[in-house]
């Protein structure tokens, strides 16, 4: 997020604390898509949608706890990360098999890649399969490594911002990213050599 975005976030949080509910809509419009994609890298589509909505509910309910001057995006990702962890723990304790889960994880990447007219159907299928393998490899990472990697690689947060979100040191974030990349290299070695 750039400086102008940070200033807009500050203004909207001030407005939200003062009772202007339209400020929440502005925050949702500015951050909703990015937040959803962050959560989608960790959860199923329906879980990501639910967690994204719950994140904004929590922002609204806890609006008076926000420290003006702090980065809104750090607070946003902290709430979302905690909700994603809770969702993962719930799935571990109470696993469910869903027909929807199969269709959610299977077709989305393929449909996205087929939208590119320059690719042949075979290339699109292979790209979709590779994307699914990468997604599964990222999801198989231990929680602390997965979160750090996603926030760094996909959300482009700095190591300090990630440390603030995950409540650890920047050095711990650096180590987690390094370990995550090494594990991904090992688990995706066959995919890389097949190309």
pLDDT tens digits for the chain (195 residues)? 567 778 999 999 999 999 898 999 999 999 999 999 999 999 999 999 999 999 999 999 999 999 988 999 999 999 999 999 999 888 777 555 433 433 344 433 333 433 445 567 877 777 778 888 888 888 899 999 999 999 999 898 999 999 999 999 999 999 999 999 999 999 888 765 555
Position 109 scores a pLDDT of 39
- pTM for the model: 0.72
Whole-number Å distance between alpha carbons of 26 and 176: 33
Q: Where are the alpha helices (DSSP H) in 41-188?
A: 45-61, 72-93, 99-114, 121-140, 143-149, 159-166, 170-187
What the block records as the tokens of 60 is 């609204």
Position 86 scores a pLDDT of 92
Whole-number Å distance between alpha carbons of 162 and 152: 7
Position 173 scores a pLDDT of 96
Q: Which among 96, 97, 117, 100 has a CA at the least distance from the CA of 45?
A: 100
Say how far residue 138 (Cα) sits from the centre of its chain: 12
Helix axes 170-187, 121-140, angle to 10 degrees: 130
Query: 110-146 burial string, b = 16+ CB within 10 Å, else e?
Result: beebbeeeeeeeeebeebbebebbeeebbeebeebbb
Position 148 scores a pLDDT of 94
- Please return the burial class of 102, using the count of CB atoms within 10 Å of its CB with bins 0-12, 13-18 and 19+: exposed
What the block records as the tokens of 182 is 């090494």
Position 94 scores a pLDDT of 57
Position 194 scores a pLDDT of 54
Whole-number Å distance between alpha carbons of 143 and 72: 23
Cβ atoms of 178 and 145 closer than 8 Å: no
């Amino acid at each position: 997020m750039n400086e102008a975005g940070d200033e807009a976030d500050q203004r909207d949080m001030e407005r939200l604390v003062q009772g202007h509910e339209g400020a929440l809509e502005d925050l949702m419009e500015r951050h909703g898509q990015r937040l959803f994609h962050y959560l989608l890298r960790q959860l199923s589509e329906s879980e990501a949608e639910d967690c994204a909505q719950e994140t904004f509910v929590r922002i609204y309910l806890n609006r008076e706890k926000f420290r003006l001057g702090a980065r809104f995006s750090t607070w946003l990702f902290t709430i979302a990360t905690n909700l994603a962890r809770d969702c993962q723990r719930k799935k571990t304790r109470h696993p469910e098999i869903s027909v929807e889960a199969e269709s959610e994880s299977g077709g989305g990447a393929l449909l996205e890649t087929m939208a590119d007219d320059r690719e042949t159907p075979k290339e699109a299928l292979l790209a979709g399969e590779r994307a699914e393998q990468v997604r599964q490899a990222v999801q198989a990472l231990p929680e602390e490594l997965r979160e750090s990697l996603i926030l760094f690689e996909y959300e482009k947060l700095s190591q300090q911002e990630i440390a603030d979100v995950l409540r650890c040191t920047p050095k711990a974030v650096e180590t987690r990213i390094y370990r995550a990349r090494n594990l991904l290299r090992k688990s995706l070695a066959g995919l890389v050599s097949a190309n």
